[in-house]
Amino acid sequence: MKIIEASTPDELQRYYDLRWKILRAPWKQPRGSEQDELEQSSHHLMVVDSRQTVIGVGRLHFNNIREAQIRYMAVAITQQRKGIGTLLLNTLEQRAIELGAARIVLDARENALRFYRKQGYEMQGPGHTLFNSIAHVKMIKDFI
Ligand SMILES: CC(C)(COP(=O)(O)OP(=O)(O)OC[C@H]1O[C@@H](n2cnc3c(N)ncnc32)[C@H](O)[C@@H]1OP(=O)(O)O)[C@@H](O)C(=O)NCCC(=O)NCCS
């Protein structure tokens, strides 16, 4: 297993595919709905296994010079609870710090709250509700 930056068209296609499968398909959302207007200016990391199958993805972008945001964290269902999400999150954080971030914010799905809290994120308050059903919580981790 290794973590790489998705950059070629093929890598990006496989990266978005897992994002869609985990974060959009279960709610019957069409392909393409897993992307937003910030993709081109974001950092896309993915974990691949020994067969080059994508088993985890996550994205980092900057809201301003000091504040980075992590979005679209997703691990393949059969690979969850094996440390892959933690590896992704820690690598995205490292990248954010290298690029000058003083803090990272994110909107956590309620099912992922424990995962982020374990990594030092603090709850700030309620966030948006996606597809009328998935409640989010705003979280923050300060580095300075
Ligand atoms: C949330 C997610 C990214 C975590 O990735 P992961 O590889 O499964 O997480 P890890 O194995 O690194 O988990 C580390 C710790 O976080 C906590 N954790 C992770 N998933 C959890 C869950 N579903 N429920 C409760 N605690 C959880 C546990 O304490 C876990 O440690 P443990 O397995 O030793 O108890 C992944 O489960 C996932 O893709 N979920 C579905 C999509 C999603 O909700 N994404 C987040 C959007 S904000």
Kindly list the structural domains of the chain, giving each domain's residue range(s) and its CATH number in brackets, ordered by start. Answer: 2-104 (3.40.630.30)
Q: Tell me: pLDDT of 132 over 90.
A: no
Q: What average pLDDT is seen over the chain?
A: 97
Question: What's the pLDDT at 23?
Answer: 98
Does ligand 1 lie within 6 Å of residue 88's CB atom?
A: no
Q: Which two tokens stand for residue 129?
A: 């509700």
Taking residues 93-121, report their average pLDDT: 97
For 32, residues 6+ apart whose C-beta sits below 8 A from its C-beta are none
Question: What's the pLDDT at 144?
Answer: 82
Residue nearest to atom 19 of ligand 1 (CA): 115
Ligand 1 atom nearest to 80, measured from its CA: 8
Residue nearest to atom 18 of ligand 1 (CA): 115
Give the pLDDT confidence of 19-64 residue by residue, as tens digits.
999 999 999 999 999 999 999 999 999 999 999 999 999 999 999 9
Ligand 1 atom nearest to 107, measured from its CA: 48
User: 90 CA to middle of ligand 1, Å?
Assistant: 13
Question: What's the pLDDT at 7?
Answer: 96
User: 110 CA to middle of ligand 1, Å?
Assistant: 11
User: 80 CA to middle of ligand 1, Å?
Assistant: 6
Does ligand 1 lie within 6 Å of residue 51's CB atom?
A: no
Query: What pTM did the predictor assign?
Result: 0.97
Q: Can you tell me whether residue 135 is helix, strand or coil?
A: strand
